[in-house]
Amino acid sequence: MFDLKVIEAENAKLERDLDKDFDSLGERLDRRGVDIQALVAKAQSFGVAVPSWGTGTGGTRFARFPGGGEPANIFDKLDDCGVIHALTKAAPSVSLHIPWDKADPADLRAKADQHSLSFDAMNSNTFQDQADQMHSYKFGSLTHTDASTRAQAVEHNLECIEIGNKIGSKALTVWIGDGANFPGQTHMGRQFERYLSSMKEIYAGLPDDWRLFSEHKSYEPAFYSTVVQDWGTSLLTAQELGDKAMCLVDLGHHAPNVNIEMIVSRLIHAGKLGGFHFNDSKYGDDDLDSGTIDPYRLFLVWNELVDAEGTPGLDLAHMIDQSHNVTDPIESLMVSAMEIQRAFVQACLVDREALAGYQSDNDALMASATLRAAFRTEVDPILAKARQLSGGAISPVTAFRASGYRTGVTERRPQVNGAGGGIV
């Protein structure tokens, strides 16, 4: 297993330089009237959930190229999530996907406790058929024209709640691939009514302290129309279901150039923003690593989230949702968690009083410059200091590589067959 001593040994090599960089940044921030220690505390308070499936190598519909030491089951995945959190101290929870991660709840809790992890939102899966499944989802799940197929999909979601309830989760995220590939294939109105009716049955099975997240996605796997294709449909759903129903925004689930930070703002206004899935993209739902393509957009999303801090009832679930096709998934998840944390800390640096003044004076140039001043602040020493103080690694990727963890699991875990495409 992962040897925590490596963190101490690797940190010892970097501490002196970090302290110098930290003091220098502290001095510069002080001149701007910003307390660096307060930002360190903010960074330490940050946490994003890791998707269990993200610990395996992802793929496209063309192929998947697994690496060594791929997790063979949910317990291996939780071990990998434990490493991610031990090194970054920024990923304290895991989001499970059922049935992929189905196991005895007591065993799941024991393994999570071993790594000081908790369980974030549960994810149901009705976008593919399982081996023992009676009715196929080829033509839909919660919106299928056949009542028995819909009932099976509802039942699966209720089972996700039941499992989640036993492991301390407090939310269910529902994303369906239902839609149509041809104009005329479905009656869009009646299909949406079937969706609402199925979601009402799931909603009725929620414990009092749970929330139901509806996640929209513009296209894929249905390429002509998707039932829950945009935030408007997601909002309609959440409003119709009730107080425990919220919208979940996935950064990648929009057409290129859509202003996602404005969607975030609108959903906060409606009191219906429940959670966020982080990733990045260049063309579509590319599931690339967070912050690698458009870090400014990530910052602008966080700017809205930080601006809304303290809004009554706002309690956001943050999760990474991306696919690692060419990198070590543990390294990608660590870097992504830190990039999301970076955007959060940068958003905390926005001079909101000055910004409000420029906005009311219609000083567009200075308002925009105020945002960019925060975005351009190099906050690496703050993030590294937060990790160091929390017992994590100053440089998580360096420490991970020095630990030999990947070599160890490659020897112990069975080699995974890469044949066949498909997102993991």
- List, in order, residues 6 or more apart from 346 with CB less than 8 Å away: 299, 302, 374, 375, 377, 379
Is the Cβ of residue 120 or residue 250 nearer to Mn ion in the bound state?
250
Stretch that binds Mn ion, among 90-98, 202-210, 319-327, 349-357 (CB under 5 A): 319-327
CB of 248 to Mn ion, least distance (A): 7
State which amino acid sits at residue 293.
Answer: I
As given in the structure block, the two tokens for residue 284 are: 């579509």
Q: How far is the CB of 239 from Mn ion (least distance, A)?
A: 21
Contact 212/248 with Cβ under 8 angstroms? no
Among 10, 304, 321, 328, binds Mn ion (CB under 5 A): 321
Show the binding pattern over residues 352-391: x = contacts Mn ion (CB under 5 A), - = does not. ----------------------------------------
Q: Which helix (H) or strand (E) is 368 found in, with range?
A: helix 364-375
Distance CA 262, CA 260 (A): 5
Tell me how many degrees the CA angle 111-115-117 measures, rounded to the nearest 5.
Answer: 85
Residue closer to Mn ion by CB (options 280, 321) is 321
Residues in contact with 377: Cβ distance below 8 Å, sequence separation at least 6, in sequence order: 29, 346, 349
Q: Is 257 exposed, middle or buried (0-12, 13-18, 19+ CB in 10 A)?
A: exposed
**Among residue numbers 243 through 272, which ones bind Mn ion (CB under 5 A)?**
250
Cβ proximity to Mn ion, 83 vs 121, nearer residue: 121
For 367, half-sphere exposure in the C-beta direction (CA atoms, 13 angstrom radius) is 10
Nearer to Mn ion, 212 or 374 (CB): 212
Beta carbon nearer to Mn ion, 163 or 249: 249
CB of 257 to Mn ion, least distance (A): 19
If the CB atoms of residues 89 and 324 are measured against Mn ion, the closer one turns out to be 324
**Residues of span 135-174 touching Mn ion by CB under 5 A:** none
Please, what is the minimum distance in Å from the beta carbon of residue 210 to Mn ion?
19
> Would you say 220 or 307 has its CB closer to Mn ion?
220
Helix (H, G, I), strand (E, B), or coil: what is residue 388? Answer: helix
Q: Which residue has the tokens 């009092």?
A: 208
Residue 15 host element (H or E): helix 5-31
**One-letter identity of residue 222:** A
Stretch that binds Mn ion, among 115-123, 184-192, 300-308, 314-322 (CB under 5 A): 314-322
Would you say 81 or 228 has its CB closer to Mn ion? 228
> How remote is the C-alpha of 172 from its chain's centroid?
14
120 binds Mn ion (CB under 5 A): no
Stretch that binds Mn ion, among 4-12, 222-230, 277-285, 344-352 (CB under 5 A): 277-285
Quick count: other Cβ atoms within 10 Å of Cβ 299?
A: 24
CB-based contacts of 391, cutoff 8 Å, min separation 6: 7, 89
Rg (C-alpha) for the chain, rounded Å, is 22
Query: In the complex, what is the shortest distance from the CB of residue 281 to Mn ion, in angstroms, rounded to a whole number?
Result: 12
Nearer to Mn ion, 80 or 321 (CB): 321
Closest approach, Cβ 250 to Mn ion, in A, equals 4
Length of the chain: 424
Contact between 318 and Mn ion per CB under 5 A: no
Residue 277 binds to Mn ion (criterion: CB under 5 A) = yes
Nearer to Mn ion (CB atom), residue 79 or residue 250: 250
Q: Give the span between the Cα atoms of 141 and 129, in whole angstroms.
A: 10
Residues in binding contact with Mn ion, number by CB under 5 A = 3
In three-state secondary structure terms, 215 is strand
Residue 319 Cβ, how far from Mn ion at the closest point, in Å?
8
Site residues for Mn ion per CB under 5 A: 250, 277, 321
